[in-house]
Amino acid sequence: MRAMEKFDVAIVGAGAAGLMCAAVAGQLGLRVVLIDHATRLAEKIRISGGGRCNFTNINAGPGNYLSENPRFCRSALARYTPRDFLDLLARHGIAWHEKHRGQLFCDESAEDIIEMLRRECAAGRVHWRMPCAVHTVAHTAAGGAHPYHLTTDAGHIAAKRLVVATGGLSIPKIGATDWGYRIARQFGLEIVEPRPALVPLMFDASTWAPFTGLSGLSLEVDVSTGKGRDAGNFLEDLLFTHRGLSGPAILQISSFWTPGQSITLNLAPTFDIEAALFEAKAASRRQLGNLLAQWVPARLAEAWVANSGLSPQARMQELSDKALRALAQAFSGWTLKPCGSEGWRKAEVTRGGVDTRALSSATLEARTQPGLHFIGEVVDVTGWLGGYNFQWAWASAVACARAMSEGMRAGQAGGDARS
Ligand SMILES: Cc1cc2nc3c(=O)[nH]c(=O)nc-3n(C[C@H](O)[C@H](O)[C@H](O)COP(=O)(O)OP(=O)(O)OC[C@H]3O[C@@H](n4cnc5c(N)ncnc54)[C@H](O)[C@@H]3O)c2cc1C
């Protein structure tokens, strides 16, 4: 067990946000210790983007984030942009490409991002404690210039400031914990109820029985849920699974969905299916099943016709206007109520977290607890699918690091720069 060690900043959580914050704060001259309980560094970066890390989105802006306080993320996002992150990649010679709608991925591997952040931390002379659990955190006036006292597996640590970067609750098997929320509560901050987000949705067995045969099928849809400020709407790919729905369309909408709510899908989002059905009725003697299969995957056409109580062999001219209208409505406004989500095991992120109304948007510091900062996913700022969550991790980390450096230079929160 080591004796008490003193640092300007202790950062708990060496994921995307913690690594970035440590690197920047260290390079700005602060003495930083970075603590993580995991044995492998930055697992979420490693598994992200199918192993290639969708590290940012070139179009990232405040409109791509959900929060009880939607304006909160503006300041940090404006001061550290996707371009800034690309400059960092360029300095490390990391090649990247754009995949889809501004989503940027590594050409080679997500490991490149981890190595880059490790090198940036080395340049900032960051001290590491990993794997290392933090048992208690206290803020004591008796600590003088170093009021934050941490008891850890690696001994006692005293710091002028404490940064909580422990992320959200998704994927507990790779180290997610509620530690950040507990520390927030310990210091009197509120938590916006955490919920799994960017997660597949499930349906009860009887609702889903007619569709289990569609498992594996994918198509572009328009999906929506909610009302007013809480409404979400995306044009993305949908994937049928054995238990329900997944794919980018559903992951996106899951962040807006609340239990008990319905979602509505338009399975033919790029054309007016009702008009097309009536046109076909007037012009041809084609069979309904064949006609639909021209517009959507054949398996889906079959399931839909069967579900509507119509025969796929029925000739278009034999079908009543009412039946065609009902079929078109079922296709373009398929409304269904999920019974739940696949939960923390499958969620890519957490919606909710430390209530931002208690934090400064410029410094990420708790308003009522000087020297205590929260960055990254632990905060109630949740990005859409597509690189937005990492951009928030980088931007909030940099805002916090710069603010700590400025604060210490100005002698605020009882501290000097590196001594
Ligand atoms: C499968 C998957 C794929 C994803 N793909 C993308 C993507 O391509 N693009 C994108 O933008 N986002 C993606 N995300 C989301 C993204 O990974 C997170 O939003 C981002 O990692 C959050 O960064 P963070 O630093 O706040 O938290 P994390 O990266 O989760 O880091 C938190 C760190 O805190 C540590 N920790 C937790 N509890 C404790 C404790 N009690 N004591 C000490 N240490 C602790 C953890 O070990 C971890 O290292 C993906 C997520 C998942 C699960």
Residue 157 Cα, ligand 1 centroid: separation in angstroms?
Answer: 24
Cβ atoms < 10 Å from Cβ of 38: 17
Give pLDDT, residue 32.
98
CA of 55 to the centre of ligand 1 (A): 12
Q: Let me know how long the chain is.
A: 419
pLDDT digits 0-9 by tens, 32-70: 999 999 999 999 999 999 999 999 999 999 999 999 999
Q: Which amino acid is at 347?
A: A
- The CATH number covering residue 134 comes to 3.50.50.60
Number of domains in the chain: 2
Asked whether residue 89 falls in the same domain as residue 26, the answer is yes
Q: From atom 27 of ligand 1, which residue's Cα is the shortest distance away?
A: 167
- Tell me how far the alpha carbon of residue 230 lies from the centroid of ligand 1, in angstroms: 25
How many A from CA of 15 to the centre of ligand 1? 6
CA of 111 to the centre of ligand 1 (A): 14
> Please, what is the Cα angle at 259 between 254 and 263, to 5 degrees?
55
Confidence of residue 306 (pLDDT cuts 50, 70, 90): confident
Ligand 1 atom with the shortest distance to the CA of 390: 11
pLDDT at 415 over 70: no
182: tokens are: 């507990």
Please write the tens of the pLDDT for every residue from 188-242. Answer: 999 999 999 999 999 999 989 989 999 999 999 999 999 888 899 999 999 999 9
Q: What is the pLDDT of residue 305?
A: 86
Q: How far apart are CA 336 and CA 344, in angstroms?
A: 22
Regarding whether 94 and 38 lie in a shared domain, the answer is: yes
* Residues 185 and 164 grouped into a single domain: yes
Pocket residue to mutate for ligand 1, from 37, 44, 354, most atoms within 8 A of Cβ: 44
d(CA 411, CA 419): 13
Based on the domain organization, do 298 and 234 belong to the same domain? yes
**Of 299, 316, 341, the domain-final residue:** 341
Q: Looking at the structure, do residues 329 and 370 belong to the same domain, yes or no?
A: no
Convert the pLDDT of each residue in 261-302 to its tens digit.
999 999 999 989 999 999 999 988 889 999 999 989 999 998
Closest C-alpha residue for ligand 1 atom 5: 48
Distances (CA, A) of 419 to 331, 390, 409, 415: 67, 32, 12, 10
Residue type present at position 32: V
Q: What's the pLDDT band for 2 if we cut at 50, 70, 90? A: low
Phi, psi of 312 (to 5 degrees): -65, -25
Whether 243 shows a pLDDT value over 50: the answer reads: yes
- Both 303 and 369 in a single domain? no
User: Per-residue pLDDT for 1 more than 60?
Assistant: no
What was the pLDDT predicted at 24? 98
Taking phi over 0 as left and psi of -120 to 50 as alpha, with beta for the rest, 372 belongs to beta
> In this structure, are 77 and 211 located in the same domain?
no
* Contact assessment for residue 181 and residue 194, using Cβ atoms and an 8 Å cutoff: yes
In this structure, which residue's CA is closest to atom 35 in ligand 1? 13
Exposed (0-12), middle (13-18) or buried (19+): which is 11, by Cβ within 10 Å? buried
What's the pLDDT at 419? 32
Separation of 228 CA from ligand 1 center, angstroms?
30
Query: Is the previous residue joined to 131 through a cis bond, with omega within 30 degrees of 0?
Result: yes
How is the beta sheet containing 103-106 ordered, strand by strand? 54-57, 103-106, 96-98
**What six digits make up the tokens of 192?**
């916006």
CA of 18 to the centre of ligand 1 (A): 10
Task: Decide which of 323, 341, 359 is a domain's last residue.
Answer: 341
Ligand 1 site residues, Cβ closer than 6 angstroms: 12-18, 35-38, 44, 47-49, 53-54, 133-134, 165-167, 170-171, 175, 177, 179, 348-349, 376-378, 387-390, 393
In a shared domain, residues 181 and 219: no
CATH of the domain at 254: 2.40.30.10
| Structural domain range at position 158 | 5-196+348-417
CB contact set of 409 (below 8 Å; sequence gap of 6+): 417
Q: Which of 302, 320, 341 is the last residue of a domain?
A: 341
Same domain, residue pair 214 and 138: no
- Indicate which atom in ligand 1 lies nearest the CA of residue 16: 25
Both 185 and 221 in a single domain? no
Domain shared by 406 and 353, yes or no: yes
Backbone angles phi, psi at 368, to 5 degrees: -100, 0
